[in-house]
Amino acid sequence: MSMMSYQSIPAVVRDNAKKYAKKTAISYKKKGVYHSLTYEEFFERVLLLARGLRKFGMTPGDKVAIFSENRLGWAISDFGIQCAGGITVPIYATNTGKQAAYVINHCEARIVFCSTQAQYEKLYLIKDELPNVDLVVSFESFLGHRSFPVFTQYQVSDIDTPLSDEDRQQIEDQITQITPEDLITIIYTSGTTGPPKGVLLTQRNIMINVEYAIEQLGMAQENMTTLSFLPLSHVLERTGSYYNTLMNGNHFVFAESPLTVMDNMAEVRPTAMVSVPRLFEKIYSRIHEGVSQMPPARQKIFNRAIEIGREYVNKKYITKEPLGLLSLKYKLFDKLVFAKIRARFGGRLSYFLCGGAPLDKTICEFMWIIGLPVYNGYGLTETSPCVTISGAREVRFDSVGIAVRETELKLEPDGELLVKGPQVMRGYYKNDEATLDSIQDGWFRTGDIAKIDEQGFVYIVDRKKELIVTAGGKNIAPQPIENELKLDKYISQAIVFGDLKPYLVAVITANIETLEVYAKEEKISYKDNDELVQNPKVKELFATRIKELNKSYPPYKTIKFFAVIANDFSIEGGELTPTLKLKRKVILEKYKDIIEDLYASKGAGSSAQQKK
């Protein structure tokens, strides 16, 4: 079905409530048990909330904030807001009250949805900074403060009073009035630099994005089950997973949390998922960790399987050569090795979509080898998000694919990628200066350095502002080096510095699970993880592994000194954005002393130089 025959996403979901009435729309896990709503039931809950919002004084065009992690209430609120003619403004659940207040005030939201008492308390602490808020609605029931009343979503929906024909008619009329040019949302960028900017996206921006991305992907979208774990406050999950699934009449399942996603995959047995590279890095390292503990004979079989698999996927998808006997060999190893791995992830996955940051080629190719294809895409909040995506017919493991329909790309002399197309935002809310800076003659400046080959495949090098310019004037993209480091089984995360410095240094977070196994084998005793990473034997282990990596780089690109820390970078620790991107400035500030030492005393950290 063409989405574009519809005026809006709520109009599609209204029709799906009739077309797929008894089909499961959304499932979620509560106290260890999965619960579900059919399309009919989901739409009924949406209409009840839309009725309630109107009774509480919401008018078309109002901005309404959702301050919540992923859960059923998020989806009901989002569609309830839209069906009452409003504009959804999501706030990352990990934000502080102060960060939330910035968004709420900037977009002038009078109504705020929040999930739990903890989120409500964040708002209560700064209630004096929220002069415009006159209704707080929670998804759970708890006692609020008198001076800052809170209603539950059930109360606002008046869930025990059925919809009258008149109620239903009024809201359906409101849905009919939504046009493709109306705003669906304002998404505030997670802002690795400066205050967040509110990105204005229309119904058409997102609808056309869903349609063109699926068309280019070239995969059937019937009877699919999508497992969702990235924040819905992020455009990648919202468009690629949530709207895509519900607009196509498929089954959308909320993972319990990003931490349980591997277990949830085995329970839900999804057929599709959207992710950022972090999940694939974890899958890659978990599988290799498992293999390293197998008896040598089984390790040999696994390695042979990967060898055959690599030849198979490269001939089948990249060079398009005849496969001959290779097909049979691959089938055999698939049965022996890969099918067992896939079973751990539910055994039904037909594809993953990956965005948010470039995925390392080795990991992407590995996922294809084991029969869990990852289609890389590229985009930004400002482009709804999809600009390019790989397809089932055409793939390159290190590329983010080809531009989707009606989308033009061009490169500036310095390599910056510019985009023109129907997915480009209307602009930044109340920030004309930033809008004029980023959109010129309809071309949106992405801020990403890219390469485009003859076939139109796009390769993202790095963020323009994250390129390192060394004291010797060399331009270095840190991301590919960091991705290479993360492939090491002892390394969880890595960040490379060297701007205006004579050489590169790295701060590395240890993969404690694998390091503990190493410590046991080497009989290293330690009282805590900090002591473990400072152990001379462990430092030597990392030095050897980084020395190995350095061999494949020219001298100016090698890591001269490094420091290993025991704690992983996290959203809570402030080192990662809610979409798991490194906050370089924050990390530089937080580990300033360590980084300065790496430059000052040449080796207060550990040296990765060849020992003379």
Beta bridge partners of 488: none
Q: What is the pLDDT of residue 612?
A: 30
Closest CA to 404 of 181, 218, 189: 218
- The CA dihedral of 266, 268, 269, 272, to the nearest 10 degrees, is -120
Mean pLDDT computed over 464-477: 93
Question: φ, ψ for residue 378 (rounded to 5)?
Answer: -140, 140
Task: State the pLDDT confidence band at 579, using cuts at 50, 70 and 90.
Answer: confident
Domain with residue 494: its CATH number is 3.30.300.30
- The encoded tokens of residue 612 equal 């003379």
- Is 475 found in the same domain as 456? no
- Give the tens place of pLDDT for each residue, 543-556: 999 999 999 999 99
CA distance 192 to 493: 18
Residue 216 falls inside a structural domain: no
Task: Please name the residues in contact with 24: beta carbons below 8 A apart, sequence gap of 6 or more.
Answer: 36, 37, 38, 39, 251
- Is 457 found in the same domain as 389? yes
- The encoded tokens of residue 4 equal 């574009």
Tokens 């793939």 map to which residue? 395
Residue 52 falls inside a structural domain: yes
Task: State the pLDDT confidence band at 191, using cuts at 50, 70 and 90.
Answer: low
Crossing angle of the two packed helices 261-268 and 277-292, in degrees rounded to 10 = 90
Residue 163 falls inside a structural domain: yes
Least confident of 51-55, 190-194, 289-293, 488-492: 190-194
- Is 554 found in the same domain as 457? no
- In 36-177, alpha helices (H): 39-55, 72-83, 97-106, 117-125, 153-157, 165-177
- Is 439 found in the same domain as 312? yes
Beta bridge partners of 458: 452
Question: φ, ψ for residue 592 (rounded to 5)?
Answer: -50, -50
- 482-498 CB burial, b ≥16 within 10 A, e <16: bbbbbbbbbbbbbbbbb
- Give the tens place of pLDDT for each residue, 374-409: 999 999 999 999 999 999 888 999 999 999 999 999
Mean pLDDT computed over 95-123: 97
- Give the tens place of pLDDT for each residue, 29-42: 999 999 999 999 99
What whole-number percentage of the chain has pLDDT above 90? 93
Domain boundary among 415, 430, 465: 465
Q: Are 439 and 421 a contacting pair, CB within 8 Å? A: no
- Is 245 found in the same domain as 193? yes
Is pLDDT at 19 greater than 90 in this prediction? yes
Q: Which residues constitute the domain of residue 529?
A: 467-607
CB atoms within 10 A of CB 525: 8
Q: Are 429 and 382 a contacting pair, CB within 8 Å? A: no
CA distance 299 to 375: 28
Q: What is the pLDDT of residue 393?
A: 85
- Give the tens place of pLDDT for each residue, 295-324: 999 999 999 999 999 999 999 999 999 999
- Is 59 found in the same domain as 33? yes
Residue 431 DSSP SS3: coil
Closest CA to 258 of 226, 227, 224: 227
Residue 577 falls inside a structural domain: yes
- Is 254 found in the same domain as 298? no
Residue 300 falls inside a structural domain: yes
CA distance 576 to 586: 9
Task: Please name the residues in contact with 400: beta carbons below 8 A apart, sequence gap of 6 or more.
Answer: 358, 376, 377, 378, 388, 389, 390, 458, 459, 460
Task: State the pLDDT confidence band at 192, using cuts at 50, 70 and 90.
Answer: low
CA distance 210 to 208: 5
Least confident of 101-115, 359-373, 570-584: 570-584
Domain boundary among 465, 490, 507: 465
Identity of residue 144: G
CA distance 283 to 291: 12
Residue 147 falls inside a structural domain: yes
CA distance 445 to 450: 12
Residue 131 falls inside a structural domain: yes
Domain with residue 89: its CATH number is 3.40.50.12780
> What letter would DSSP give residue 126?
T
- Is 448 found in the same domain as 520? no
Is pLDDT at 2 greater than 80 in this prediction? no
- Give the tens place of pLDDT for each residue, 239-277: 999 999 999 999 999 999 988 999 999 999 999 999 999
What whole-number percentage of the chain has pLDDT above 70? 97
Mean pLDDT computed over 65-79: 98
- Give the tens place of pLDDT for each residue, 430-443: 999 999 999 999 99
Task: Indicate the number of domains in the chain.
Answer: 3
pTM of the prediction? 0.93
Q: What is the pLDDT of residue 237?
A: 97
Q: What is the pLDDT of residue 584?
A: 93
CA distance 71 to 84: 21
Q: What is the pLDDT of residue 602?
A: 57
Angle at 576 between CA 574 and CA 580, to 5 degrees: 150
Is pLDDT at 578 greater than 90 in this prediction? no
Q: What is the pLDDT of residue 89?
A: 98
**HSE-CB for 196 with a 13 A CA cutoff:** 27
Identity of residue 168: R
The whole-chain average pLDDT of the chain stands at 95
Task: State the pLDDT confidence band at 611, using cuts at 50, 70 and 90.
Answer: very low
Identity of residue 26: I
- Is 75 found in the same domain as 18? yes
- Is 129 found in the same domain as 16? yes
- Is 458 found in the same domain as 596? no
Domain boundary among 465, 497, 522: 465
- 32-60 CB burial, b ≥16 within 10 A, e <16: eeeeebbbebbbbbbbbbbbbbbeeebee
Q: What is the pLDDT of residue 610?
A: 42
- Is 152 found in the same domain as 70? yes
Residue 264 falls inside a structural domain: no
Mean pLDDT computed over 75-82: 98
